[in-house]
């Protein structure tokens, strides 16, 4: 494979999307999770922008990092059941209040960017899919595949990184944010 094709100039790479039910969960409860690695590069300062937004909403931005060793991994989970709809960022429930509006705006902007991203800019690194995706796709849960070859593991996790799935998933997350905002503002 040509190494030039693995260079990312979008500020975002390794975007994955998964739908799942947390166990134990409420009847009819579903989560949608979009995860990615944020970077600063020629076309975007997505990681710096993320850190700037966090500084607006908290005195401890690192509390919102995926983990201390992976501050540039972003996992957004939309949870809904019959009576609740909430959003989590790297495992932190985002309360809908004036203070958190910059973060909701950032997520809406980011998911719009992803849903409109040309497919040739949607870079997914093979090593990421094979070795890191299982712990980054769902915050707080690791998708385990014991006794499986590296090739089969890559093939299994690769389905979460299909470009059409990602674009559709980003639109679903964006719609989720919009619905939360409409409810908050009484629209």
Q: What is the pLDDT of residues 156-180, one digit of tens each?
A: 889 999 999 999 999 999 999 999 9
Beta strands in the chain (DSSP E): 12-20, 30-38, 73-80, 85-89, 92-93
Per the CB < 8 A criterion, the answer to whether 127 and 37 are in contact is no
The three-class DSSP label of residue 21 is coil
pLDDT: which is higher, 61 or 153: 61
Find the mean pLDDT for residues 39-61: 91
For the entire predicted model, the pTM comes to: 0.88
What is the per-residue pLDDT for 9? 53
| Residues near 53 by beta carbon (within 8 Å), at least 6 away in sequence | 102, 103, 106
Find the mean pLDDT for residues 61-65: 93
What is the per-residue pLDDT for 6? 46
Q: In the structure, what pLDDT confidence band is assigned to residue 5 with cuts at 50, 70 and 90?
A: very low
Count CA within 13 A, CB hemisphere, residue 132. Answer: 19
Task: Tell me the backbone φ, ψ of residue 111, rounded to 5 degrees.
Answer: -70, -30
What is the per-residue pLDDT for 10? 62
């Amino acid at each position: 494979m040509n190494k030039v094709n693995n260079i990312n100039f979008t500020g975002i790479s390794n975007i994955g999307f998964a739908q799942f039910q947390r166990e134990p969960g409420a009847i009819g409860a579903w989560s949608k999770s979009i995860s990615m690695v944020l970077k600063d590069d020629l076309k975007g300062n997505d990681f710096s922008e993320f850190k700037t937004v966090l500084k607006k909403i908290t005195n401890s931005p690192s509390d919102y990092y995926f983990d201390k060793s992976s501050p540039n991994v972003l996992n957004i989970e939309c949870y809904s059941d019959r009576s609740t709809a909430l959003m989590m960022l790297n495992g932190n429930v985002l309360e809908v209040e004036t203070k958190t509006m910059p973060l909701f705006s950032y997520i809406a902007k980011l998911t719009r960017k992803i849903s409109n991203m040309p497919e040739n800019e949607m870079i997914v690194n093979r090593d990421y899919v094979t070795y890191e995706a299982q712990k980054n796709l769902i915050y707080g849960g690791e998708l385990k595949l014991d006794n499986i070859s590296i090739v089969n593991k890559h093939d299994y996790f690769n389905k979460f990184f299909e470009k059409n799935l990602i674009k559709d998933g980003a639109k679903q997350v964006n719609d989720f944010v919009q619905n939360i905002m409409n409810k908050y503002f009484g629209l």
